[in-house]
Amino acid sequence: MVSNPIIDRLPSFLSDFVVDQNYGQYTARDHAVWRYVMQKNKAYLKKTAHPAYVEGLRKTGISIDKIPSIEEMNRILSDIGWAAVCVDGFIPPSAFMAFQAYKVLVIAADIRSVNQIGYTPAPDIIHEAAGHAPIIADPDYAKYLVDFGKLGSRAFPSKKDNELYEAIRHLSILKAAHNVPEKEIIKAEKAIDLISNHMGPPSEMALIRNLHWWTVEYGLVGTLEKPRIYGAGLLSSIKESKDALSKKVKKIPYSIDAMDYSFDITKPQEQLFVTPDFEYLSTVLSEFSGMMAVQTGGLEGVMKAIESGDVSTLVYSSGLQVSGVFTSVKTHSGQTAYIQATGPVTLNYNDKMLPGHSTISHKEGFGSPVGKLKGSLKPMRMFDSTDLKNLGIIKGQRCRLELETNVIIEGTLLKITRKEGKIILLKFSDCKVTHEGIILFEPSWGVYDMAVGEKIISAFHGPADPDGYGLHFQAPAEKTHKPNYSAKEKALFDIYDQVRDIKTSDKEISHLWDIIHNQYPDEWLLAYMLLEHLPEGSDNLIRNDILSLLNKLKKENKDLKHLKLQV
């Protein structure tokens, strides 16, 4: 892959999703699909899309004539501070948003089939490259994407969210594949319905995904009476881009309420949301962030971390960040008193792991109290050396700390760790920790690191320092289906090549039309390409024959209603 400074800075935990584009996999028919969609979309969207779209095509190096290579895109995207990588179909929402936060556009390497040219149920290179890439050239919109990615990658998912993602990915793979029995698709759809009907209350990730869908994927901008298109799903779909602006699709002013509108990723949309401008998107995002645990923290945030069952981070008021899988919490008067993580844990500050506090140092978990020192007017994190001495908290000496949350720590103080003048950690030997008579830590367990902070001010999904934690997303086990073309299909692709490179010879045109008409009468795109190449004054009989065939196919196949016979 061509070096791009953005890719060079990409954290290693996202690398498992990156795949080779394998540019040679694209057939002449694939390039014809790209060219047809781009020609029709550009002709329509230059009047109906946000002005940034057409300009963005030029800025991001998106060609009308052929599928772009990731290498070409990265050369040009680097000029606007972005990059692109290829992935295999849908990736988990948290990973998708993490890429977005790092200004990396993820591009599904596959391309839709000719039978799904108007709308595809799975992400493909048309959707990603021709849909997402052009609009990021707009500075206000690009900022929104980055901010959304940072926030979304820290939203708590539920275990059901992960199940639903796997089920949707499976269905999209089946629907995009060739010759899949209908009963398999029906079975996959029923599986999604079963999960969807038992999701429980929506998680942070579910709600923020809704906002992402109704803006980044299917957003309109302007007024309700005359909106323009900017969502990638609309910019890349011939059918939906036209339906979007028709009266049959309801238009709703965009607001925080969009978070409550769920969606079916495999079907066209029943309603769309209209934002007055790109800046307003950030206003709504800010409103939503105020509802998330990353800003509110507290016991509710701790519970979200526990319920996720995944690696999460709790942030103390001292700034100390504890990252791990949280399994339990002790409370006092409705407040967090003691948190417990099981398995590998890191301690961090400002999203960087503290020396000596890696997953090796805390490989079997971590537990620590939360709360103010009983009888003290000042938070312990703000104590200076005099405060500590007056309370008998002296290095090398045994001390006893009792918190307002009824947690008692007794041990010999070994070390005090400060950051930016604040105490964030106390290390004890021969330590015993209890909460309302229940033993939480015994001296025989080794040294005890006590987090300092009177409350949990933030909670978010994922580790504070992903590389320090050694985070690696598990790439999806099920891969998208790669077609295995027959000899006849390969011969067909040779005809696509010949039509693309056709000269103006009437004899050559007649020969190719005979082949198409007799051997590939259902290949409407091939016939359409030949029609495109007919020079002015060429054989009207061939033109009429091609138009007759295209009209016949259009009547027989409702999916070809979008077909424009004029070229």
Q: What does the pLDDT average to over 372-401?
A: 95
Q: What does the pLDDT average to over 9-13?
A: 86
Which comes out higher in pLDDT, residue 8 or 320?
Answer: 320
Q: What does the pLDDT average to over 539-555?
A: 86
| CA 239 to chain CA centroid, nearest Å | 24
Instruction: Dump strand ranges (E) for 150-218.
Output: none
CA–CA distance, 470 with 324 (Å, rounded to integer)? 11
pLDDT, tens digit, 9 for 90 and up, residues 508-532: 888 899 999 999 999 999 999 998 8
Tell me what percent of the residues of the chain surpass a pLDDT of 70: 96
> What are the beta bridge partners of residue 325?
342
Q: How confident is the model at residue 166 (pLDDT cuts 50, 70, 90)?
A: confident
Helix/strand/coil (H, E, C) string of 20-51? CCCHHHCCHHHHHHHHHHHHHHHHHHHHHECC
Identify the structural domains of the chain with CATH numbers, from first to last: 5-158+200-206 (1.10.800.10), 308-469 (2.30.30.100), 487-560 (no CATH)
Q: Could you tell me which of 116, 155, 135, 23 has the C-alpha nearest to residue 77?
A: 135
Q: What is the pLDDT of residue 400?
A: 97
Angle of CA points 183, 559, 245, to nearest 5°: 115
Q: What is the pLDDT of residue 329?
A: 98
CA–CA distance, 438 with 340 (Å, rounded to integer)? 14
Most confidently modeled range among 46-50, 244-248, 375-379, 414-418: 414-418
442 DSSP 8-state letter: -
> What are the beta bridge partners of residue 49?
229
> What are the beta bridge partners of residue 367?
340
Q: Could you tell me which of 212, 90, 207, 86 has the C-alpha nearest to residue 156?
A: 207
Q: How confident is the model at residue 149 (pLDDT cuts 50, 70, 90)?
A: very high
Q: How confident is the model at residue 252 (pLDDT cuts 50, 70, 90)?
A: very high
CA–CA distance, 414 with 223 (Å, rounded to integer)? 64
CA–CA distance, 172 with 193 (Å, rounded to integer)? 14
pTM of the model as a whole: 0.88
> What are the beta bridge partners of residue 251?
272
Q: How confident is the model at residue 243 (pLDDT cuts 50, 70, 90)?
A: confident
Q: Could you tell me which of 528, 561, 556 has the C-alpha nearest to residue 35?
A: 528
Q: What is the pLDDT of residue 563?
A: 66
Q: What is the pLDDT of residue 278?
A: 95
pLDDT, tens digit, 9 for 90 and up, residues 284-343: 999 999 999 999 999 999 999 999 999 999 999 999 999 999 999 999 999 999 999 999
Angle of CA points 333, 337, 343, to nearest 5°: 145
> What are the beta bridge partners of residue 449?
427
- Residue 246 CB contacts under 8 Å (≥ 6 apart), including other chains: none
Q: How confident is the model at residue 505 (pLDDT cuts 50, 70, 90)?
A: low
403 DSSP 8-state letter: B
SS3 320: strand
Q: Out of 358-367, 413-422, 497-506, which region has the weakest mean confidence (pLDDT)? A: 497-506
Q: What is the pLDDT of residue 384?
A: 95
Q: What is the pLDDT of residue 254?
A: 98
Q: Out of 55-59, 212-216, 473-477, which region has the weakest mean confidence (pLDDT)? A: 473-477
Q: What is the pLDDT of residue 562?
A: 65
Q: What is the pLDDT of residue 9?
A: 85
Is the Cβ–Cβ distance between 340 and 367 less than 8 Å? yes
- Phi first, then psi: what are they for 428, rounded to 5°? -125, 150
pLDDT mean across residues, the chain? 90
pLDDT, tens digit, 9 for 90 and up, residues 405-452: 999 999 999 999 999 999 999 999 999 999 999 999 999 999 999 999
Q: What is the pLDDT of residue 133?
A: 87
